[in-house]
Structure 1
Amino acid sequence: MPLMHATWGAWPWIAPFWFLFWILLVFFVVRFVFWRRGAWCGPRGRMQGPDQILAERFARGEIDATEYRSRLDTLRQ
């Protein structure tokens, strides 16, 4: 008669791996969903285009209006 409990000997070693597997699976699914929405693209949340970065520099006073218009025209060409 075969021993039915012989396979339970590996349970203490297999259980932590299954637990880790499910945690990693949930983590990567959540990360993928947020990545697709653009929430993990940097400290501000979404990636910015060059015209948005230029507008922010102008708003902070790093460049003046003439330089802003000149660079914006260059970007749009």
Structure 2
Amino acid sequence: MLTTLATATVAAHAGPWAAGFGWVFFLIPLFWLLVVGLIIFGVSRGRRRYWANGSPEGYGPPWARTATAEQTLGQRFANGDIDETEYRARLEVLRANRPTA
């Protein structure tokens, strides 16, 4: 009699996932969409932050930085390529013709 009762109990038991996942099944794709979205967001944020430090305008790679005309003129004066009179004259021209931003 106990054998019959034990066999009937095992046959009636459906296991740990008796009713399946139920509504939890719909949360699994949402979880993975959230994970992929966070990865994409993180990568795009990191790239934007990296490239933003590249140039004075905030765009472009770091090696593409260009010196302004005044910096180039100052460097030439520091190297001794031009004298003070020429430096001041050219600097005045540069500042007079500065484009408005």
Using CA pairs under 8 Å that are at least 6 residues apart, name the structure with larger relative contact order, 1 or 2: 1
Question: How high is the TM-score relative to the length of structure 1?
Answer: 0.47
Rg larger for = 2
